[in-house]
Amino acid sequence: MKKTAFYPGSFDPITNGHLDIIDRAIDLFDKLVVGIGINLAKKPLFPLKDRLEMVRESVGNHPNISITSYTGLTADYAVKIGAVAIIRGLRAISDFEYEFQMALANHKLSPEVETVFLMPSLPNVYLNSTMVKTIARLNGEVENFVPQNVAERLKKRFSDIQGR
């Protein structure tokens, strides 16, 4: 039986840290579904269509990775797609409490789905989308933190916002 894992996130935008987790998760599971969650309480920098495109461009045409969007509870969607695990990245101890609470809630909602925590490799341990957006907003170089396609979209997005 093939084992599917689900890697949820906002991916606003996808970073090298996300790609690091994707690379390692696909080594552990037969199939990986990367899901962009739609959270109506958040105002993302990029519309869903753009985030889906950036993730697809960044991941490439890997035969065992699919990219999708979803609404509702992550645990419910994991069950819907037949996932045996939800993948979560842990960058630092500060992530642990929130992620631990989410893992417990997801387990209560869908006990058949395990949460698997993966730590990013050392060069990506400090990296997050908020930091990348801040650097890009202040005209900093983001090429070391995100794929080239994402760096170009960030520059264009902030150029459009700031009227440059």
- What digits encode the pLDDT tens for the residues 23-32? 999 999 999 9
- What's the domain count of the chain? 1
Lowest mean pLDDT among 86-90, 103-107, 139-143, 156-160: 156-160
Over range 108-118, report the average pLDDT: 97
Residue 52's Cα: distance from chain center in Å?
11
Is 91 among the domain residues? yes
Is 137 among the domain residues? no
Task: Give the Cα separation of 120 and 11 in Å (integer).
Answer: 15
Question: What is the maximal distance between C-alpha atoms in the chain?
Answer: 53
Is 139 among the domain residues? no
Residue 25's domain comprises 4-125
Is 53 among the domain residues? yes
Catalytic sites, residue numbers: 18, 42, 91, 129
Is 135 among the domain residues? no
Tell whether the model's pLDDT for residue 162 goes beyond 80: no
Q: Which of 119, 50, 112, 47 is nearest to 84 (CA)?
A: 112
Is 48 among the domain residues? yes
Given this model, what pLDDT does residue 164 score? 58
- What digits encode the pLDDT tens for the residues 46-98? 999 999 999 999 998 899 999 999 999 999 999 999 999 999 999 877 778 88
Question: For the domain that residue 27 is a member of, what is the CATH number?
Answer: 3.40.50.620
Q: What is the mean pLDDT of the chain?
A: 93
Is 147 among the domain residues? no
Task: Give the Cα separation of 87 and 90 in Å (integer).
Answer: 10
Is 141 among the domain residues? no
Q: Three-state secondary structure along 44-104?
A: CCCCHHHHHHHHHHHHCCCCCEEEEEECCCHHHHHHHCCEEEEEEECCCHHHHHHHHHHHH
Tell whether the model's pLDDT for residue 122 goes beyond 70: yes
